[in-house]
Amino acid sequence: MASSRDGASTTSQRPAACRTSCPGCPTRKVIEAILTQHYLACLSHASYLIGDETTGRAVVVDPRRDVGVYLQEAAERGLRIERVIETHVHADFLSGHLELADRTGAVISYGAGAGVGFPVEPLHDGQRLSLGEVTLEILATPGHTPESICVVVWEHPDDPAPHGVLTGDTLFVGDVGRPDLFASAGAELSAEALARRLYRSLRGKLLVLPDATRVYPAHGPGSAFGKALSTETTSTIGEQRRVNYALQGLTEDAFVAAVTEGQSARPRYFAFDACANREGHPLLDEHAPELLDLEDVLARQEAGAILLDAREPADFAAAHLAGAVNIGLQGRFAEWAGNILSPDRDIVLVSDPALAAEAKVRLARVGLNRVEGQLTDPASVFAARPELAERSSRLTIAQLAELRGLEPDLQLVDVRGAAETAGGTIPGAVEIPLAVLADSLDGLDRDRPMVAYCASGYRSVVAASRLAAAGFQDVSDLLGGYCAWQGAGLPVAHDADLIMAARTLQSAPDCGVA
């Protein structure tokens, strides 16, 4: 397995059930079947290339927007990508179906009834697609969204059992898809109605597969699409039958309650990405951002551009331009950018020049397409113009403990998710998950000092810089976060002591949220 800065990894999952001696396996000529998982840890997203080396035919399932990894693998293996299969209309990233179709001429396919704004070849329940010996079977599995499908992979069309199943957002390792995120084509489909469809899809389509069937989901740990996802990115039907809380002996009503309650806030950018995936979006531009001098950057900021500083938090704290938002490239950069920034505004990057092209692509993966340029050599700029360099306030836990006793008007903002804050928070804190902070500013007092904190310090830097950019004057973040506070034995609050102020996002545009 190979990996990169953004957590991208590639794992070959060559079906082996009939390549060695095993009970029940017929003796036959070895078929060179290919199933490769391409995993993006920074978005918790798994996509797949499936091919048959005897024919050279291949498909890609749920591709990311920068499609070079699939083109490279196909070229190395002598494969032709003939089809792109989307298991549903995605909301957490802009999919690469249009880019792959443009680069390869591949047909785009969704489950029947997807209602997208570009030509597709719909796939129907029970339909089989032959790549040669390797055969794909489509299962209609509505629930997460109405058009959701799963793809069963057969190494040979007449095998007694399939190798695996690509489950999209229907079944994860340790969890199942959320039915509460869809807000679209017919708003008459409530979370409860979709949860009931999901219950029937899981039991009627997936749990009838043999226990040895491999499970290949579209998401892994860290995704907002579930509350109990495992750290593993593959499993088996049998293992999930044993350990997945949603697949235990629940009645339909109990299942509905289990999968609709206690979910995290819907990320802000999901509605935009779902619309773009459904209606179509511009092809990805992977050129490095234009180099801009300081005066040009300031002029663009004055005209409404967002300054996105992707440097390390310590570098940002030491010197940054007024109004800049800091989201470090080393973390879940694109996800938090999507939650904090607006897709309808230009973006100017402040980053290590060698990493600006990477930052641009990672932003484009979540629909932030309007990167207009990058500041030339930030370190030299701040050295030459120190009067423009602002500093950020960062507090240690000892400093915060002292400040709480001295400053009665202090606002503590806990930007962790509900599942995290359930285990405790700093007394007096207001809970506003970072995913909804940008839509929750009116509930905070701009005249009172404020300290933002998260679990360990990454999200709080994002939050503090966003608050400062919005005009809050006295904002700090907590070094080490709640983990450091709790670890030092300082006071914590639980349950009824918490001040709950998490906001609910406005309804999504009328084109679908997956």
What is the DSSP-derived secondary structure letter of residue 128? E
What is the DSSP-derived secondary structure letter of residue 217? E
Q: What residue ranges in 110-255 does DSSP mark as E strands?
A: 128-130, 135-140, 149-154, 164-168, 214-217, 235-236
Residues 448 and 450: their CA atoms lie apart, in Å, by 6
DSSP alpha helices (H): ranges in 36-144? 68-77, 97-104
Residues 355 and 71: their CA atoms lie apart, in Å, by 23
Q: Are 163 and 173 in contact (CB under 8 A)?
A: no
Residues 107 and 118: their CA atoms lie apart, in Å, by 11
454 tagged catalytic: yes
Interior/surface letters 459-484, b for 16+ CB within 10 angstroms, e for the rest: bbbbbbbbbbbeebebbbbbbbbbeb
Residues 399 and 416: their CA atoms lie apart, in Å, by 21
Encoded amino acid at 482, one letter: Y
- Catalytic residue among 18, 454, 483, 511, which? 454
Q: Is the dihedral of CA 366, 372, 373, 375 positive or negative?
A: negative
Catalytic residues: 454
